[in-house]
């Protein structure tokens, strides 16, 4: 309370009321997260209690109806597809943001940004459907079966590219004009300015955008479900079909009962943990940025 | 003037009487159906027609898998359970009433030259012992095995028919819905999958490049499902805990009547032979 009193400059009742309402809303939002985790724990408890925790990583396969609960291949597939998509979308996104900021004429840059925003609004199921009917057959002609880690990576790349490009663009726009003028005054070339000044200064914002995009890639369901092939296995190459944790839940939840259902909640728990880890990283990233 | 006021009052009373009567009735007359997501859409359509013909009755349909249908019918949570397979030996305490049939057929790409596969060949393909179409008389092309996700009753039926365990199957693609299976096979000339025959026949007639293979020499057609000669057929059942009576019995009789055949066909299932 002492903290809020000090930071409110005019101690009117309206301010105090607003602070109360806002902190209640913030508390509620935080409570929802705690409740979600508690709920996941409660629903997965029947198998968490029965099956030794390490077995979720060491079991040879995922056949919950036969008592095998190996999540590791799906965890690997989730990480591999997201990492691949981040790599592709990261390089493409940052490149397009640099083009937009430093090379494109302003009219083209404006149109381009609008296009990206539009792309960001396309529902994932549309990407998935396109992937299933166009992209997968294309890969299948080359390397059957077509539904593969590669297809998942490409579809996820399309989905997160706008997020990466737009946040990188915003981060580059926030680089103080003085830095760029200083670089120009020192006689740096445009590429020197970009690599030596603009990118390092915008690094924090770009990485935050990447982490945001990673969260979206990890949590994507429909698009991945349609193109990844959904076979539970550790991929040995880009053309192997894989199943992600989210696809596993979506595929089996409607039909699962008993331990099978509880085991699916364990997949949900693992995924939530993964996303929270990422959010933690993003927070730390945001923290360091404000000190630069 | 006075007369007009009188008639208005009468009309009002009439409207009130009409509007309140069915409402109080509806609370008493509600049917809850839960279970198989295959049967639920059909049950929903039949339910709508039942509501129209029986004002004051509400039919509430929720899907959640055949196992939920069994569990809810047993516990009494649902008046009627929806189950897309025959009852298992341990479920014989329940009463089941078939409303339609669904056949499961093997599909391949239209351009695949293979015209027929024996049961042993299908098992060998699904367990990964045969991995190229060349080995079963087709072209030089790797086989893409399309399997259903765990828990689906189509998968259960397929496994039981071929006496396999799901862990024996070496699939390259695992799918959820029939439509996803058809799209997958249509997009891959080396793929093999199994889906509901009614849906596959309809999609093929609409130009999807897929072909149903005969099973044990019997062609996979809606006709052969109806006359019972096709080997891989599942009944779509309504199940109850006790011998149905009253509203439940009326609904089951209604759902099984010939008048509902158009709804059954609209969902690409096969009406009962009567």
* Among candidates B65, B166, B184 on the partner chain, residue whose Cβ is nearest the Cβ of A254: B65
* Among candidates B144, B150, B180 on the partner chain, residue whose Cβ is nearest the Cβ of A226: B180
Average pLDDT rounded to a whole number, residues B90-105: 92
pLDDT at B166 over 70: yes
Distance between CA atoms of A263 and A65, rounded to whole angstroms?
A: 10
3-state secondary structure of A270: helix
Average pLDDT rounded to a whole number, residues A252-261: 80
Of all residues in chain A, what percent carry a pLDDT higher than 90?
56
* Among candidates B67, B149, B188 on the partner chain, residue whose Cβ is nearest the Cβ of A137: B188
Mean model confidence pLDDT for chain A = 88
A positions 190-229 inside 8 Å of B (CB): 225-226, 229
Q: For residue A151, give both structure tokens.
A: 């297809």
Q: Which CATH number is A126's domain given?
A: 1.10.3720.10
Q: Is residue A249 part of a domain?
A: yes
Q: Is residue A15 part of a domain?
A: no
From residue B14, give the alpha-carbon distance in Å to each of B7, B17, B21: 10, 5, 11
Q: Are A137 and A235 in contact (CB under 8 A)?
A: no
pLDDT at B22: 44
Residues of A in contact with B183 (CB under 8 A): 132-133
Helix (H) or strand (E) holding A43: helix A13-50
Say if residue A145 is preceded by a cis peptide, omega within 30 of 0: yes
Q: DSSP assignment of B63-92, as one string?
A: E--HHHHHHHHHHTSSSEEEESSPPPGGGT
Residues 6+ apart with CB under 8 A from B93: B74, B241
Model pLDDT for residues B191-232, shown as the tens digit of each residue = 999 998 988 988 898 899 999 999 988 999 888 998 889 999
Distance between CA atoms of A139 and A142, rounded to whole angstroms?
A: 5
Q: Do A144 and B67 touch (CB under 8 A)?
A: no
Q: For residue B225, give both structure tokens.
A: 């499902």
Q: Is residue A48 part of a domain?
A: no
What domain range is A96 assigned to? 57-290
The distance between the two most distant Cα atoms of chain A, rounded to a whole number of Å, is 71
Choose, out of B77, B109, B150, the residue to mutate when testing the contact with A (most A CBs < 10 Å): B150
Q: Do A257 and B173 touch (CB under 8 A)?
A: no
- Residues forming a β-bridge with B239: B81, B96
pLDDT at B20: 47
For residue A237, give how far its alpha carbon lies from the nearest alpha carbon of chain B (Å).
13
On whether the pTM is more than 0.80, the answer is: no
A267 phi/psi in degrees, rounded to 5: -60, -40
Q: Is residue A259 part of a domain?
A: yes
Model pLDDT for residues A94-111, shown as the tens digit of each residue = 999 999 999 999 999 999
Model pLDDT for residues B55-87, shown as the tens digit of each residue = 889 999 988 778 889 989 999 999 999 998 889
Q: Is residue A14 part of a domain?
A: no
Q: Is residue A67 part of a domain?
A: yes
* Among candidates A140, A225, A257 on the partner chain, residue whose Cβ is nearest the Cβ of B67: A257
Q: Is residue A242 part of a domain?
A: yes
Q: Is residue A265 part of a domain?
A: yes
Chain A nearest-CA residue for B83: A255
To 10 degrees, what angle do helices A245-252 and A72-98 make?
120
pLDDT at B248: 94
Q: Number of structural domains, chain A?
A: 1
Residues of A in contact with B188 (CB under 8 A): 136-137, 140, 144-146
Quote the ipTM score: 0.73
Distance between CA atoms of A262 and A172, rounded to whole angstroms?
A: 46
Distance between CA atoms of B128 and B153, rounded to whole angstroms?
A: 22
């Amino acid at each position: 309370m002492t903290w809020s009193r000090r930071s409110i400059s005019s101690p009117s009742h309206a301010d105090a009321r607003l602070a109360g309402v806002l902190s209640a809303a913030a508390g509620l939002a935080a409570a929802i997260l705690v409740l979600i985790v508690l709920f996941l724990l409660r629903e997965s408890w029947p198998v968490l209690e029965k099956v030794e925790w390490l077995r979720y990583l060491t079991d040879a396969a995922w056949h919950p109806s036969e008592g095998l609960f190996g999540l590791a291949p799906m965890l690997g597939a989730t990480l591999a597809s997201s990492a691949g998509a981040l790599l592709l979308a990261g390089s493409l996104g940052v490149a397009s943001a640099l083009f937009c900021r430093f090379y494109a004429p302003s009219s083209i840059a404006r149109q381009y940004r609008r296009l990206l925003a539009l792309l960001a609004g396309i529902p994932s199921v549309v990407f998935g459907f396109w992937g299933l009917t166009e992209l997968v057959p294309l890969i299948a002609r080359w390397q059957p079966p077509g539904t593969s880690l590669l297809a998942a990576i490409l579809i996820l790349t399309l989905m997160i590219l706008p997020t990466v490009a737009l946040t990188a663009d915003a981060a580059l726009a926030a680089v103080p004009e003085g830095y760029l003028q200083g670089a120009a005054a020192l006689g740096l070339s445009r590429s020197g300015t970009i690599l030596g000044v603009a990118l390092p200064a915008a690094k924090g914002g770009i990485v935050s955008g990447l982490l945001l995009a990673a969260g979206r890639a990890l949590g994507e369901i429909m698009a991945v479900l349609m193109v990844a092939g959904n076979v539970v296995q550790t991929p040995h190459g880009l053309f192997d079909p894989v199943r992600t944790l989210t696809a596993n839940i979506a595929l089996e939840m409607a039909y699962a009962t008993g331990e099978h259902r509880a085991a699916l909640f364990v997949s949900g728990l693992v995924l939530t943990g993964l996303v929270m880890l990422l959010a933690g990283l993003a927070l730390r990233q945001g923290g360091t940025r404000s000190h630069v | 003037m006075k007369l007009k006021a009188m008639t208005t009052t009468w009309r009002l009373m009439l409207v009130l009487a009409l509007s309140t009567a069915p409402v109080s009735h509806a609370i008493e007359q509600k049917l809850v159906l839960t279970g198989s997501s295959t049967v639920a859409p059909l049950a929903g359509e039949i339910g709508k027609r039942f509501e129209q013909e029986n004002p004051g009755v509400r039919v509430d349909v929720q899907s959640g898998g055949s196992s939920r249908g069994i569990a809810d019918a047993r516990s009494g949570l649902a008046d009627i359970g929806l189950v897309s397979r025959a009852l298992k030996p341990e479920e014989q305490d329940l009463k089941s009433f078939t409303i339609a049939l669904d056949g499961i057929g093997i599909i391949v790409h239209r351009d695949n030259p293979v015209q027929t596969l024996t049961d042993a060949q299908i098992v060998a393909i699904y367990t990964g012992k045969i991995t190229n179409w060349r080995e079963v008389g087709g072209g030089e092309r790797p086989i893409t095995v399309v399997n259903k996700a765990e828990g689906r009753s189509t998968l259960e039926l397929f496994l039981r028919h071929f006496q396999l365990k799901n862990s024996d199957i070496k699939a390259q693609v695992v799918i959820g819905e029939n439509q996803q299976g058809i799209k997958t096979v249509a997009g891959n000339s080396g793929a093999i999958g199994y889906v509901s025959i009614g849906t596959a026949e309809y999609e093929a007639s609409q130009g999807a490049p897929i072909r149903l293979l005969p099973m044990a020499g019997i062609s996979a057609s809606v006709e052969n499902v109806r006359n019972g000669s096709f080997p891989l057929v599942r009944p779509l059942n309504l199940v109850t805990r006790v011998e149905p009576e009253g509203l439940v019995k009326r609904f089951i009789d209604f759902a099984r009547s010939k008048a509902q055949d158009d709804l059954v066909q609209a969902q690409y299932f096969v009406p009962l032979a009567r």
